[in-house]
């Protein structure tokens, strides 16, 4: 099995060196990796769909604009509040939410803060009503009737849980990384991320040698399993001098061996556009930091939730909200087109989440929707007293960005795609008399007979998955070489497409 995994990983690494004409190979390999590796894996988000959050599959376009779409917050938020003595006033995600193994309901690994950090566990049948079970594992004020997982010191936090059911050791079906400051001798004397594993996500055994990732002062980090490259990914906080300020930035570490991580390297820093607001600030030294990055494999690429920290007092106070970033390798990240609207916005002034927002290590995909549980604060970073709770937000499947056409028809043409066959499916929304059509071109741009836009049955309405047809054809032609796809749309949005079964 290890040999097979290595072969897949080596073949996938080479894809980033190929011309864009090999884009369809990305799709094929994503399906192989998902089928071979993620059987039974909870929270896997990979699949065959190609998104338009970047220009990777856009060779030409006319009369189209890229539109970003924010998560919609649940009207009944928050869905979980701090209501236990050991939680203080703040429960939030840094952490993880996964579906139950039986497919019904959810499990959350989250944390609280009341001067001490505590890593906690909760369950829910619907994601709205949450139960904090008495685990009988950890003492709090003389009782173990609480939902505290374990307590190494008063500073362990940020529980990042990964489901790895393929591990041959049943005691290691779940894995966790969490942060320890290393200033509580003799128990913890080294700063970094400690590893643990568990058969059930509740009873944890620490790795024999900890921390598994020695990293300082990266006390905020997000970790996931990457099914595309078959590796563990980590994005710890790093500090770097950027345009006159020592700023929080994003680091990167990856490994195939859970117990051993290389030190993180710097991959993402705030640019000048991030500081555009600071010129209007009355505070000296106002600037932008990146408080964290939740990066994860999604369909055939990588997406990330970037925590934007605007330091309004020039020191350590300010709001934190979330923007979208995208990548084709998990290392080199593309920012949104300006003006970079938030993918998750702060709540209205006076609301429970108007100060800071934090996301788990990845969202969940359920049918036609993406679910994102998140932590929200009613105060900014530097304020002494703050309440925090957990909320829910949702988004259309693949709905992070779309290519939009208004009243004038627009077109989008892909680069040449190799080894394309089977049905062409699209995720789109057309308003009123709007429509979407597609035509098939040869590599040089000539339209193939029978596959013109006029042959294509117009797609109307709103569908996350619809097969494109041409006259009596419901699949792409079997071509001797690469083909291109051209989408024609009017008063419509195109989110993504997929080829094959």
Q: What DSSP string describes 218-256?
A: ---EEEEEETTTTEEEEEEEEEEEETTEEEEEEEEEEES
- pLDDT for 7 equals 35
C-alpha distances (whole Å) from 331 to each of 240, 326, 448 are: 17, 10, 38
Q: Which H, E and C letters describe 261-273, residue by residue? A: CCCCEEEECCCHH
- Tell me if 2-69+401-499 shares its fold with 72-396: no
- What are 138-154's pLDDT values in tens digits? 999 999 999 999 999 99
> What gap in Å lies between CA 50 and CA 366, rounded to an integer?
18
- pLDDT for 129 equals 98
Asked whether the bond before 479 is cis by omega within 30 degrees of 0, the reply is no
> What gap in Å lies between CA 14 and CA 181, rounded to an integer?
38
Query: Whole-prediction pTM value?
Result: 0.92
Nearest to 404 by CA among 369, 447, 434: 434
- What are 207-229's pLDDT values in tens digits? 999 999 997 777 899 999 999 99
- What are 60-119's pLDDT values in tens digits? 999 999 999 999 999 999 999 999 999 999 999 999 999 999 989 999 999 999 989 999
- What are 452-491's pLDDT values in tens digits? 999 999 999 999 999 999 998 999 999 889 999 999 999 9
Looking at CATH, the fold of the domain delimited by 72-396 is given as Tachylectin-2; Chain A (2.115.10)
- pLDDT for 39 equals 55
Rg over alpha carbons for the chain, rounded to the nearest Å, is 23
- pLDDT for 34 equals 40
Task: Name the residue ranges covered by the structural domains of the chain.
Answer: 2-69+401-499, 72-396
Residue 25 has pLDDT above 90, yes or no: no
Angle subtended at Cα 87 by Cα 120 and Cα 203, rounded to the nearest 5 degrees = 20
- pLDDT for 218 equals 78
Running DSSP on this structure, what letter comes out for residue 314? S
Would you place residue 331 in the very low, low, confident or very high pLDDT band (cuts 50, 70, 90)? very high
Residue 38 has pLDDT above 70, yes or no: no
Residue 29 has pLDDT above 90, yes or no: no
Q: What is the CATH number of domain 2-69+401-499?
A: 2.60.120.260
Residue 17 has pLDDT above 80, yes or no: no
Residue 368 has pLDDT above 80, yes or no: yes
Q: Which residues of 218-233 are buried (b: 16+ CB within 10 A; e: fewer)?
A: bbbbbbbbbbbbbbbb
> What gap in Å lies between CA 157 and CA 442, rounded to an integer?
54
351 or 479, which is more confident? 351
């Amino acid at each position: 099995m290890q040999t097979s995994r290595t072969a897949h990983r080596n073949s996938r690494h080479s894809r980033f060196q190929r011309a864009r004409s090999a884009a369809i190979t990305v799709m094929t390999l994503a399906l192989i990796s998902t089928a071979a590796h993620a059987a039974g894996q909870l929270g896997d988000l990979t699949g065959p769909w190609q998104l338009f959050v970047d220009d990777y599959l856009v060779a030409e376009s006319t009369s189209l604009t890229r539109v970003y779409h924010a998560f919609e917050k649940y009207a009944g938020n928050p869905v979980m509040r701090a209501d236990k003595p050991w939680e203080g006033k703040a429960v939030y995600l840094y952490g993880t939410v996964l579906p139950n193994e039986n497919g019904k309901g959810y499990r959350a690994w989250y944390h609280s803060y009341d001067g001490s950090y505590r890593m906690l566990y909760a369950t829910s049948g619907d994601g709205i009503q949450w139960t904090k079970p008495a685990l009988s594992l950890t003492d709090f004020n003389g009782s173990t009737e609480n939902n505290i997982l374990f307590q190494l010191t008063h500073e362990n936090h940020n529980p990042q849980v990964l489901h790895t059911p393929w591990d041959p050791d049943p005691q290691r079906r779940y894995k966790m990384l969490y942060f320890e400051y290393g200033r509580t001798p003799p128990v913890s004397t080294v700063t970094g991320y400690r590893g643990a594993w568990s058969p059930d996500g509740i009873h944890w055994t620490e790795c024999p040698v900890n921390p598994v990732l020695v990293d300082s002062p990266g006390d905020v980090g997000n970790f996931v399993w990457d099914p595309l490259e078959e590796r563990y990914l980590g994005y710890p906080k790093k500090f770097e001098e950027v345009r006159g300020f020592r700023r929080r930035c994003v680091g990167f570490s990856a490994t195939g061996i859970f117990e051993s991580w290389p030190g993180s390297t710097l991959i993402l820093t705030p640019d000048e556009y991030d500081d555009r607001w600071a010129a209007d600030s009355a505070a000296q030294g106002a600037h932008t930091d990146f408080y964290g990055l939740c990066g994860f494999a999604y369909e055939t690429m990588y997406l990330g939730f970037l925590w934007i920290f605007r330091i309004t007092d020039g020191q350590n106070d300010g709001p934190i909200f979330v923007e979208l970033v995208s990548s084709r390798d998990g290392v080199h990240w593309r920012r949104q087109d300006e003006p970079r609207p938030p993918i998750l916005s702060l709540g209205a002034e006076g609301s429970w989440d108007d100060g800071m927002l934090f996301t788990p290590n990845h969202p969940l995909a359920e049918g036609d929707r993406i679910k994102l549980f998140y932590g929200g604060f009613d105060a900014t970073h530097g304020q002494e007293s703050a309440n925090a709770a957990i909320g829910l937000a949702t988004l259309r499947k693949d709905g992070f960005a779309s290519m939009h056409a208004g009243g004038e028809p627009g077109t989008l043409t892909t680069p040449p795609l190799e080894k394309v066959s089977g049905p062409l499916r699209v995720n789109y929304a057309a308003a009123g008399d709007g429509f979407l059509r597609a035509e098939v071109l040869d590599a040089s741009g000539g339209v193939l007979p029978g596959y013109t836009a006029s042959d294509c049955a117009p797609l109307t309405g709103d569908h996350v998955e619809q097969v494109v047809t041409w006259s009596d054809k419901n699949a792409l032609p079997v071509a001797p070489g690469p083909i291109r796809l051209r989408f024609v749309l009017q008063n419509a949005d195109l989110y993504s497409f997929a080829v094959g079964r």
